[in-house]
Amino acid sequence: MSGRDVVLARVRRALADVPRGEGPHDPPVPRDYRRVHGSRTVEETVELLAENLADYRAVVHRCAPAGLPALIARLLAARGARTVVVPAGLDPRWLSAAEVAARPDRATDTARDLAAVDSVLTGCALAVAETGTLVLDAGPDQGRRRITLVPDHHICVVRVPDQVVGSVPEALPRLAPERPLTWISGPSATSDIELDRVEGVHGPRTLEVVLMAADGEG
């Protein structure tokens, strides 16, 4: 017998007490938990996102679309970044004011190549206000997972309020399971040494989030 047959046969024997008529969907799952915690206006939801991002040590900035290139230029200059990796589908205007070498994400780049890059600039798939989370789904303005992992400085632009959801239950239906997802809540951290929190172990040690208001706002 294959390992598969052995395991499945053991499972079936182990479940001899489950009534024959009971189907896989039968035992009911009570879903009376909340879809979202508390009621908030759209503005309050964005505000909560900003608060929670900052609480987990992301640096939060705000701007209108017209101000984005200047803001990004300023953030990269302040960091002293000379090279920035960008996903193929990123709006080129975002980097138009920055004096850095933009380096498009290329499949031939090795992890070591990426380790030599100073910063990465991306959009996101959505952001979750209650938990202060950014979700990346490898879309055209986000690129392969490795580009937001290896460089030490990540700037992520969130279009508010369109890309902001209130809660985890509101986030999942908007995400495609077949895409590789990265949920990011603040820079990486460890508390493994006497429970002292240390920010930034392996991922980017600095996470900057730009909340970009739709035209006519912000």
Partner 1 sequence: MSRSFLGMPAFPRAAAVSTRDPRLRANLAHATHTIRDKRARAVAELDDWAQLRAAGAAVKDRTLRHLDHYLEQLEESVAAAGGHVHWAADADEANRIVTRLVRETGEREVVKVKSMATQEIGLNEALAEAGIRAYETDLAELIVQLGDDLPSHILVPAIHRNRGEIRDIFRREMGKWGRPAPEGLSDSPTELAEAARLHLREKFLTAKVGISGANFMVAETGTLVVVESEGNGRMCLTLPETLISVVGIEKTVPTWQDLEVFLQLLPRSSTAERMNPYTTTWTGTTDGDGPRAFHLVLLDNGRTDTLADAVGRQALRCIRCSACLNVCPVYERAGGHAYGSPYPGPIGAILTPQLRGMAGPLEESLPYASSLCGACYEVCPVAIDIPEVLVHLRERVVEGGPVTRRGARVVLKPAKGHAAERAAMRAAAWAFDHPGVLRGGMRLAARTRRLHPRRLPGPGRAWSDTRALPTVPAESFRDWWRRTRGDAGGSERGGVK
Q: Which residues from 156-195 bind partner 1, rule CB under 8 A?
A: 168-169, 171-173, 177-195
Tell me the window of 61-69, 78-86, 95-103, 146-154 that interacts with partner 1 (CB under 8 A): 146-154
Q: Which is nearer to partner 1, 23 or 216 (CB)?
A: 23
Tell me the window of 22-30, 61-69, 91-99, 158-166 that interacts with partner 1 (CB under 8 A): 22-30
Binding map of partner 1 across residues 27-66, x = CB under 8 A, - = no contact: xxxxxxxx--x--------------x--xx----------
21 near partner 1, rule: CB under 8 A: no
Q: Is 146 helix (H, G, I), strand (E, B) or coil?
A: helix
d(CA 92, CA 148): 18
Please identify which residue in 39, 107, 215, 216 interacts with partner 1, judged by CB under 8 A: 107
Q: Which is nearer to partner 1, 62 or 144 (CB)?
A: 144
Give the DSSP H or E segment for 126: strand 126-128
How many Cα atoms sit within 13 Å of 118 on the Cβ side?
Answer: 13
Q: Which is nearer to partner 1, 18 or 70 (CB)?
A: 18
- Nearest Cα neighbor of 164 from 195, 125, 202 is 125
Q: How far is CA 16 from the centre of its chain?
A: 43
Q: Which is nearer to partner 1, 1 or 78 (CB)?
A: 1
Distance of closest approach, residue 143 Cβ to partner 1, in angstroms? 8
How many Cα atoms sit within 13 Å of 138 on the Cβ side?
Answer: 11
Q: What angle do CA 36, 42, 46 make, to 5 degrees?
A: 85
12 near partner 1, rule: CB under 8 A: yes
- Nearest Cα neighbor of 126 from 93, 69, 175, 86 is 175
Q: Which is nearer to partner 1, 80 or 112 (CB)?
A: 112
132 near partner 1, rule: CB under 8 A: yes
The tokens describing 200, both together, are 């930034």
Please identify which residue in 39, 41, 78, 111 interacts with partner 1, judged by CB under 8 A: 111
Please identify which residue in 84, 138, 156, 164 interacts with partner 1, judged by CB under 8 A: 138
List, in order, residues 6 or more apart from 120 with CB less than 8 Å away: 84, 85, 86, 147, 148, 151, 153, 154, 155, 204
Distance of closest approach, residue 133 Cβ to partner 1, in angstroms? 5
Q: List the interface residues with partner 1, window 60-99 (CB under 8 A).
A: none
Size of the site for partner 1 (CB under 8 A): 79
Amino acid letter, residue 18? V
